[in-house]
Amino acid sequence: MQLSPRSPLLLSTLLSSFLFLGACGGGGSSSGNPSSASASSSSQTSSEASSSSDRSSSSSSEALSLHILADFPIGVAVSAANEPSSIMQDNEAGIAQRAIIEAHFDQLTAGNIMKMSYLHPAQDTYFFDDADALLDYADANGISLHAHTLVWHSDYQVPDWMKNFEGDAAAWLAMYKEHVETIAGHFAGRVPSWDVVNEAFNEDGTYRNSLFNQKLGTAYIETAFASAREADPQADLYYNDFNISNGGAKFQAMINMVDDFIARDIPIDGVGFQMHVFMDWPSIDAIKSSFAAVAERGLKVKITELDIPINNPYSPGYNYPDNYEATFTDELAAAQKKRYCDIVTAYLDAVPADLRGGLTVWGIRDSDTWLISALFDDNHEDWPLLFDNNFDPKPAFYGVADGLTNQPCL
């Protein structure tokens, strides 16, 4: 069976039928992909799974289900409601993405619609309809929803009414706690975990001068954790940030905060490593050390937003338009596959099984990545995710499968 090219609708049908075959232990025919992985049942062990390097002629990529290769959640960030590329719409992109989700992932994160301005658009108004619809979809398909995020400084996501809130320190604190408790309370019992506070530190390790810091001091972080625990005693509570998998000042500040929380019994269950990383940064050793430092403290480690673009605008060699990767060659795809595999392997090596909170990729297909406009001034193309723009799995997909099944990263 050739996987590509084909229409998303056909992909949906094929994935569903081959997933069924896979779940029943049925075989498939060979794949047209550069490499393919086989996982024929949920009881398959790592040693039974074959490496992508030796399975090209004997197995079906369609029979692989990524999430059954792991005993921790394998997630993906999605657009929902009426966002562009929403998975909730009955157009081709929606149908194709749902097929991929249902085949390969057992956890979702809302890329946007569970942020502050969406859920709390006016002081006396909460809006849960879109998030509830996403949660209903997830529930109906046996998929969990990692909730993102109760508190985030990002200007676009802090509701205007909150920016303009007038009141003394006590009024601010009451309003802030009500925000956290109402939202966490609404989803209590239905979500396994929350990114409670997102991105509280600057790169130099100082606390970000966010609205919350200005109004409440750095105690806004522990207040959010305490309020979230109060409202949802069952959910795992994560501190989530980027650029903390390379050691350095920001990582150390985060660790210092975690140690302080543990010493003072502030409820925290884990650290979310966003992992918006590059092909050449951070080193695998640095990633492992960062994960291990959190695990050593008895906290869960969750990779919350993994993506790996081919171009690194911070790299000395990058010089658009004279020197950058304009084409996604087979060599680059193979290197990206290895990088994904190396990172998954680092996660398994550094984090004990009981502290693995899961691994989430930040988006399904390359064309929907947030990275293009954020990273590249010229908006040129890149290919950071596991599926191409036809919704076909890329070599990177098989790199994740290899990592999850302890195969060598080739």
Least Å distance, CB 401 to ligand G3I, is 24
- Interface residue with ligand G3I, options 6, 30, 41, 83 (CB under 6 A): 83
Which x/- pattern, by CB under 6 A, does the window 98-117 give for ligand G3I? -------------xx--x--
Q: How many residues does the chain have?
A: 410
DSSP secondary structure letter of residue 246: S
Which x/- pattern, by CB under 6 A, does the window 202-241 give for ligand G3I? ----------------------------------------
Q: Which of these segments, 30-38, 66-74, 77-85, 321-329, binds ligand G3I (CB under 6 A)? A: 77-85
Least Å distance, CB 156 to ligand G3I, is 5
Q: Which of these segments, 10-18, 76-84, 200-208, 344-352, binds ligand G3I (CB under 6 A)? A: 76-84
Which of the following is catalytic: 102, 181, 305, 325?
305
Which of the following is catalytic: 62, 102, 181, 199?
199
Of 153 and 186, CB closest to ligand G3I: 153
Least Å distance, CB 157 to ligand G3I, is 5
Residue type, 201: F
Of 340 and 362, CB closest to ligand G3I: 362
Question: CA 227, 228, 229, 234: dihedral to nearest 10 degrees?
Answer: 160
Half-sphere exposure of 221 (CA within 13 A, CB side): 23
Neighbours of 171 (CB within 10 A): 12
Least Å distance, CB 330 to ligand G3I, is 28
- Interface residue with ligand G3I, options 84, 142, 316, 321 (CB under 6 A): 84
Neighbours of 9 (CB within 10 A): 12
Least Å distance, CB 271 to ligand G3I, is 14
The footprint of ligand G3I on residues 5-64 (CB under 6 A) is none
Least Å distance, CB 59 to ligand G3I, is 33
Answer whether 146's CB lies under 8 Å from 358's CB: yes
Of 18 and 225, CB closest to ligand G3I: 225
Alpha helices in 4-84 (DSSP H): 8-23
* Interatomic CA distance for residues 210 and 221, integer angstroms: 11
Answer whether 328's CB lies under 8 Å from 390's CB: no
Closest C-alpha to 70, from 35, 36, 88, 45: 45
Determine whether 305 is an active site residue: yes
- Interface residue with ligand G3I, options 127, 128, 165, 370 (CB under 6 A): 370
Closest C-alpha to 251, from 218, 222, 288: 288
Under the phi-then-psi rule, with left for phi > 0, alpha for psi from -120 to 50, and beta for the rest, what region is 288? Answer: alpha
* Interatomic CA distance for residues 179 and 268, integer angstroms: 19
The footprint of ligand G3I on residues 151-170 (CB under 6 A) is 154, 156-157
Q: Rule CB under 6 A: is residue 366 a binding residue for ligand G3I? A: no
Contacts of 15 (CB under 8 A, 6+ apart): 62, 99, 100, 102, 103
Least Å distance, CB 119 to ligand G3I, is 13
Of 191 and 409, CB closest to ligand G3I: 191
Determine whether 199 is an active site residue: yes
Alpha carbon separation from 376 to 93, 244, 310, 319, 373 (Å, rounded): 25, 22, 12, 11, 6
- Interface residue with ligand G3I, options 130, 181, 222, 305 (CB under 6 A): 305
Angle between helices 219-231 and 248-263 (to 10 degrees): 50
Residues that bind ligand G3I (CB under 6 A): 79, 83-84, 111-112, 115, 154, 156-157, 198, 242, 274, 305, 370, 374
Catalytic residue numbers, as ranges:
199, 305
